[in-house]
A and B are shown apart, each in its own frame.
Chain A
Amino acid sequence: MNDPPDHRPVIQFKNVFFRLDNGLELLHNLTLEVERGETLVLLGRSGSGKTTTLKLINHLLSATGGEILVDGRSLRDWDLIRLRRTIGYVIQEVGLFPHFTVERNIALVPQIEKWPLERIRHRVQELMQLVGLEPTLASRYPRELSGGQRQRVGVARALAADPPILLMDEPFGALDPITRVELQREFLALQNRLRKTVVFVTHDLREALLLGSRIALMEAGRLATVQTPDEFVHSTEPLTAAYLNAFGTDLKRGAS
Chain B
Amino acid sequence: MNLWQFILQNHTEILEATLQHLQLVAISTLFAVLIGIPLGILITRRPVLNKPVLGAANVIQTIPSLALFGFLLPAPWIGARADRLAILALTLYALLPLIRNTYTGIKGVDRAIVEAGRGMGLTDGQLLWQVELPLALGVIIAGVRVATVISVGLATIAAAIGAGGLGEYIFRGLAMVNDQVILAGAIPAAMLALLADISLGWLEKRLSPR
Residues of chain A having any CB pair with chain B under 8 Å: 55, 58, 60, 81-85, 87-89, 91-92, 94-99, 108-109, 112, 141, 143, 157-158, 167
The answer to whether A143 touches B210, judged by C-beta atoms less than 8 angstroms apart, is yes
Number of A-B contacts (CB under 8 A): 60
A60 near B115 with CB under 8 A, answer: yes
Q: Does B126 contact A (CB under 8 A)?
A: yes
Chain B residues within an 8 Å CB radius of A108:
120, 122
- Kindly state whether residue B135 has any CB partner on chain A within 8 Å: yes
Task: Known contacts A97-B113, A98-B113; decide if A84 and B209 are in contact (CB<8 Å).
Answer: no
In the complex, the answer to whether B121 meets A98 with C-beta atoms within 8 Å is no
Q: How far, in whole Å, are A81 and B120 apart by their CA atoms in the complex? A: 8
B118 engages A60 (CB within 8 Å): yes
Known contacts A60-B115, A91-B112, A94-B113: does B121 contact A99 (CB below 8 Å)? Answer: no
**B121 vs chain A, min Cβ distance (A):** 3
Q: Give Cα A81–Cα B118 distance, bound, in whole angstroms.
A: 9
Mark interface residues in B20-49 (1 if CB within 8 Å of A CB, else 0).
Answer: 000000000000000000000000000000
- Which residues of A are found within 8 Å of B122, using beta-carbon distances? 108, 112
Do A84 and B115 have beta carbons less than 8 Å apart? no
Closest B residue to A80 by beta carbon equals B121
Separation of A158 and B117 alpha carbons in the complex (Å): 11
Chain A residues contacting B116 (CB-CB under 8 Å) are 89, 91, 94-97
**A85 / chain B contacts, CB cutoff of 8 Å:** 120-121
Contacts of B121 in A (CB 8 A): 81-85, 109, 112
**Nearest A residue (CB) for B134:** A99
**How many chain B residues touch the partner (CB < 8 A)?**
19
Asked if B118 contacts A99 (CB within 8 A), the reply is no
Docked-complex contact A94 and B209, CB < 8 angstroms: no
B123→A81 contact, CB < 8 A: yes
Task: Apart from A85-B120, A98-B209, A99-B209, list 11 A-B contacts with CB within 8 A.
Answer: A60-B115, A60-B118, A84-B120, A88-B120, A89-B120, A91-B119, A94-B110, A95-B112, A98-B135, A109-B120, A158-B120
Q: Nearest Cβ distance between residue B125 and chain A, in whole angstroms?
A: 10
Sample of 11 A–B contacts (CB below 8 Å): A60-B118, A83-B121, A84-B119, A88-B120, A94-B110, A94-B112, A95-B112, A95-B115, A98-B210, A112-B122, A157-B120
Which residues of B are interface residues toward A (Cβ below 8 A)?
110, 112-113, 115-123, 126, 130-131, 134-135, 209-210
User: A97's contact among B118, B131, B210, by CB below 8 Å, is which?
Assistant: B131
B126 touches A112 (CB 8 A): yes
Taking a contact as CB atoms under 8 Å apart, the answer to whether A99 and B115 are in contact is: no
Nearest CB in chain B: distance from A101 CB, A: 12
A60 touches B119 (CB 8 A): yes
Which residues from chain A contact B130 at a C-beta distance below 8 Å?
A: 97
Docked-complex contact B210 and A95, CB < 8 angstroms: no
Chain B residue with Cβ nearest A85: B121
User: Bound state CA distance, A94 and B118, in angstroms?
Assistant: 14
Q: Residues of A contacting B113 with CB < 8 Å?
A: 94-98
Cβ–Cβ < 8 Å partners of A92 in chain B: 112
Residue of B nearest to A84 (CB): B121
B118, B120, B134, B209 — which one has the most chain A CB atoms within 10 A of its CB?
B120
A158 to B121, CA, bound (A): 11
